[in-house]
Amino acid sequence: MAEFVSLAQGVEAVLSDGCSVAMEGFTHLIPHAAGHEVIRQARKRLTLIRMTPDLVYDQMIGMGCAEKLVFSWGGNPGVGSLHRFRDAVENGWPHKLEIEEHSHAAMANAYEAGAANLPFAVFRGYKGVDLPKVNPKIKSVTCPYTGEVLATVPAIRPDAAIIHALKADREGNVLLEGIVGVQKEAVLAAKRSLVTVEEIVDDFGPRNANAVILPAWTVTAIAHVPGGAYPSYAQGYYKRANDFYIAWDKIARERETFLAWIKANVLEKGPEAFAQHARPSRQAA
Amino acid sequence: MMTATPTEMMTIAAARLLTNEDVCFVGIGAPSAACNLARLTHAPKITLIYESGTLSTRPTVLPLSIGDGELCDTALTTVSVPEMFRYWLQGGRITIGFLGGAQIDRFANLNTTVVGPYDAPKVRLPGGGGAPEIAIHCGQIFITMAMGSRAFVETLPFITSFGHGTGKGDRAKLGLKTRGPTKIITDLCVMEPDPETSELTVVSLHPGVTREQVQAGCGWPLRFAAELAETPAASVQELAVLRDLHIRTKHAHGVAA
C-alpha cells in the first residue's frame, strides 16, 4: 500500500547503490526532481533504464551515479546531443559507462512483458540492422504456428521504477493523463516504485474513465513534489520549458559549466526549488 | 519574388509528396516541418502520428520534441507508447514513415548510432529510437537529409535502419513486404531507388542546382536519371506558410525569431 513520504525518504526507500531503476516519462511527466534527489544522495553503480535518457539521465551520468545505461534513444530531443552521456561513452568521464542499446519498439515491448510477468518480449523488429550484432540480449524465436522468425528481448524487471504523475488521492491511488508513455508498464514491472505528484486531492472528481490509474496497492511510495517534472511538463499544470532544453546544450557541453550548474541547482537546493515551476499553464503562457 | 533557401526547398519538396490520404509517422525536424506544411497547404486532411502516442494531431507550432503538449492537446486521441509501437506501427496502419539520419548509403540504409567502432566511437549519436521498426513497418519511407560528403557515404559504419540493403531483392529476402525508402529529398535534389537495382538515382534537381554540386555533396559516384527533371520552384504561398510556421515555432520555444 502506497505510503506518503518526503522525496528524500521515497528515494531512500526504493533505491540503494547497485540497483536497477527505470525513471520513465515519454517527454511528458519526466521525474526531474527525483533524479536530482538521486544525485544529492550520491547513489552509485546504478543501472539506469529509460527509453529516452534525456536531461535527467545526462545529469545523473555526469555525476557518476550510473554504471550501466539501458536505452533506445539518447539525445536532447530537437536540440542535439546529450554531452554528458557522450563524454561518458566517448571518453569514459567521469567513468566508463556500460551500455545496452535497443530500439523503442523493443523497450516498449520489454516493459509490457515485465508488467505481464513474462520472461521475454516478442515482436517483429530489428530486421537487417546492426544492433543485434552489438547487443547479445537481442535474440530471436521461431513462431510455432507460422515458422516466422521474430525478434526477442528480455523483459524489463527493474528493482525500482520512479515516475512523476498528476495527482494522488488520499488513499494513495495515482492518476496520469495526456501522453502516458510507458510509466504504467514501468511501475507494474518493477519490484518497488516511487511516484512524485503535482497535487494530492481528496477525490479525483470527474475524470476520463480511461485515465491511467495506478491503484494504491501497486505503488510503494508517493511524494508530493509540485513542479517535479520541470523542465518537462505536467499536462494541465505547466508547459514544457523548451527554452531550458535548448539552454542545456550549452550548460552540459563543458564539464566545468555542468558541475557548476549541478552545484548551484541540485546539490545546494532541495525539491522545493521545483515549486516555482508548478504554476498553471495559462499563467505561464 | 521570394527565393527559398536550400533547407526550405527540401521541406517544400517533401511536403508536396504528401496527400490527404496519407497516414504519416512523423519525426522531429525536417519531417515534422514538411508534414505540417502539407497539412497547412494542400493536404489539410493528412493524418499525422508522432511516436509519443498522439494520433491525428494538428499542432499550430512545430514541436521541439516528439512529445510536446501541443501534440496531445490537438490530437484526436493519445495512446500509450507500447500501444503505438504494437498496434499502430507494427499493426501496419501507417502508410508513410519519415526518417532522417546522420549518414545514408547508396541503398538508403541509415546510420544514427555511431561514427567509428561501436565499442570506441569517434562520435556517439543518439541511436535508433523508433527508426529500425519504422523502416520496416510503414508502407513506404521518405527520407529528408541535407547533402554533404560526410552524410552521403560509400560505406556506413553501422546500419541503424534498413533501406534496400545491398540492392534489389534484399528486403524480400528478409520477409519484408513494405516498399522501404522510395524518395530521398535533399536540399539540392530528389533521389529515387532505381527500379532495377534499388541504387539511389537523382531524378530531380532543385532550381539553380547543378549536377556537379549534387555530386560534390555525395561520397559515391552518383547516378542521374536519363530524364532529369527540375523541381518546381517554391511558390509564394508555400514559402509564406512555412516561414510563418517557423516564426510561430521560435516564439513558442522561447527563442527570438
Q: Write a three-state SS string for chain A.
A: CCEEECHHHHHHHHCCCCCEEEECCCCECCCHHHHHHHHHCCCCCEEEEECCCCHHHHHHHHCCCEEEEEECCCEECCCEECHHHHHHHHHCCCCCCEEEECCHHHHHHHHHHHHCCCCEEEECCCCCCCHHHHCCCCEEEECCCCCCEEEEEECCCCCEEEEEEEEEECCCCEEECCCCCCHHHHHHHCCEEEEEEEEEECCCCCCCCCCEEECHHHCCEEEECCCCCCCCEECCCECCCHHHHHHHHHHHHCHHHHHHHHHHHHHCCCHHHHHHHCCCHHHHC
Picking from A154, A178, A194, the residue at the C-terminal end of a domain is A154
Cα-to-chain-centroid distance, residue B193: 15
Dihedral sign for Cα B234, B237, B239, B242, please: negative
User: Looking at CA atoms only, how far is residue B216 from chain A in angstroms?
Assistant: 26
Q: Are B257 and B247 in contact (CB under 8 A)?
A: yes
Which candidate from B64, B82, B137 shows the least CB-CB separation from A112?
B82
Assess whether A148 and A241 both reside in one domain.
no
Assess whether A138 and A226 both reside in one domain.
no
Integer Cα distance of B189 and B181 in angstroms: 15
Assess whether A14 and A54 both reside in one domain.
yes
Between strands B181-185 and B189-193, the pairing is antiparallel
Assess whether A48 and A65 both reside in one domain.
yes
A51, closest residue in chain B (CA to CA): B129
Average pLDDT estimate for B59-78? 92
**The predicted structure's pLDDT at residue A208:** 81
Q: What is the CATH number of domain B101-225?
A: 3.40.1080.10
pLDDT tens for each residue of B85-123: 999 999 999 999 999 889 999 999 999 999 999 999 999
Which candidate from A82, A90, A111 shows the least CB-CB separation from B121?
A90
Assess whether A132 and A263 both reside in one domain.
no
How many distinct structural domains can be found in chain A? 2
Q: Cβ contact (<8 Å) for A73 and B129? A: yes
Cα-to-chain-centroid distance, residue A29: 9
Q: Is the pLDDT of residue A282 over 60?
A: no
Query: Which residues in A20-42 are b (16+ Cβ under 10 Å) and which e?
Result: bbbbbbbbbbbbbbbbbbbbbee
Integer Cα distance of A234 and A27 in angstroms: 10
Assess whether A205 and A259 both reside in one domain.
yes
pLDDT tens for each residue of A83-114: 999 999 999 999 999 999 999 999 999 999 99
Q: Is the pLDDT of residue A284 over 70?
A: no
Cβ neighbours of residue A151 under 8 Å, at least 6 residues apart?
Answer: A106, A122, A123, A124, A125, A126, A127, A132, A138, A139, A140
**The predicted structure's pLDDT at residue A209:** 79
Q: How far is CA B161 from CA A221, B4, B99, B180, in A?
A: 40, 30, 9, 10
Assess whether A192 and A247 both reside in one domain.
yes
Cβ neighbours of residue B131 under 8 Å, at least 6 residues apart?
Answer: A103, B27, B99, B101, B110, B112, B160, B161
Which candidate from A105, A182, A241 shows the least CB-CB separation from B130?
A105
Cα torsion through B224, B229, B234, B237, rounded to 10: -140
Assess whether A55 and A123 both reside in one domain.
no
Which residues of chain B lie closer than 8 angstroms to A128, CB-CB? Answer: 109, 136, 159, 162, 165, 170-171, 174, 176
User: Looking at CA atoms only, how far is residue A231 from chain B in angstroms?
Assistant: 12
**The predicted structure's pLDDT at residue A1:** 85
Which residues of chain B lie closer than 8 angstroms to A123, CB-CB? Answer: 85-86, 90, 133
**The predicted structure's pLDDT at residue B116:** 95
Average pLDDT estimate for B221-231? 97
The reply to whether B133 belongs to the active site is no
| Mutate which: A84, A112, A129, A235, vs B, most B CBs within 10 A | A129
The percent helix, strand, coil of chain B (3-state, each to 5) is 25, 20, 50
- The residue annotated as part of the active site, out of B8, B51, B70, B199, is B51
- The CATH number of the domain holding residue A176 is 3.40.1080.10
Q: Cβ contact (<8 Å) for A72 and B118? A: no
pLDDT tens for each residue of A157-167: 999 999 999 99
Which residues of chain B lie closer than 8 angstroms to A112, CB-CB? Answer: 82, 86
**The predicted structure's pLDDT at residue A120:** 98
Assess whether A16 and A146 both reside in one domain.
no
User: Looking at CA atoms only, how far is residue B16 from chain A in angstroms?
Assistant: 23
Range of the domain at A228: 3-102+157-282
Picking from A115, A132, A154, the residue at the C-terminal end of a domain is A154
In terms of phi and psi (left: phi > 0; alpha: psi -120 to 50; beta: otherwise), the region of A78 is: left
Q: Nearest 5 degrees, angle CA B97-CA B103-CA B106?
A: 85
pLDDT tens for each residue of B122-148: 999 999 999 999 999 999 999 999 999
pLDDT tens for each residue of A108-126: 999 999 999 999 999 999 9
SS3 B23: strand
Q: Cβ contact (<8 Å) for A130 and B113? A: yes
Q: Are A253 and A83 in contact (CB under 8 A)?
A: yes
Picking from A92, A125, A154, the residue at the C-terminal end of a domain is A154
Cβ neighbours of residue A98 under 8 Å, at least 6 residues apart?
Answer: A67, A68, A69
Integer Cα distance of A32 and A30 in angstroms: 6
Which residue is it, cell 539520419? B101
Which candidate from B118, B174, B255 shows the least CB-CB separation from A127?
B174
Q: Is the pLDDT of residue A283 over 80?
A: no
Residues of chain B with CATH 3.40.1080.10: 1-94+232-252, 101-225
Average pLDDT estimate for A44-56? 97
For B1-94+232-252, the fitting CATH number among 3.20.20.100, 3.40.1080.10, 3.40.50.1370, 3.40.47.40 is: 3.40.1080.10
Assess whether A9 and A75 both reside in one domain.
yes
Assess whether A239 and A163 both reside in one domain.
yes
Integer Cα distance of B144 and B137 in angstroms: 18
Among residues A245, A255, A130, A115, the alpha carbon closest in space to that of A188 is found at A115
Burial class (CB in 10 A: 0-12, 13-18, 19+), B92: middle
For the record, the C-alpha cell of A212 comes out as: 491511467
Which residues of chain B lie closer than 8 angstroms to A79, CB-CB? Answer: 64
Q: Is the pLDDT of residue A281 over 70?
A: no
Here the ipTM equals: 0.95
For the record, the C-alpha cell of A189 comes out as: 514491472
Average pLDDT estimate for A257-265? 98
Which candidate from A27, A103, A178 shows the least CB-CB separation from B132?
A103
Q: How far is CA B52 from CA A30, A53, A236, B72, B132, in A?
A: 13, 15, 17, 9, 16
Assess whether A80 and A126 both reside in one domain.
no
Q: Cβ contact (<8 Å) for A124 and B137? A: yes
Straight-line distance from the first to the last Cα atom of chain B, in angstroms, rounded to the nearest whole number? 22
Q: Is the pLDDT of residue A280 over 90?
A: no
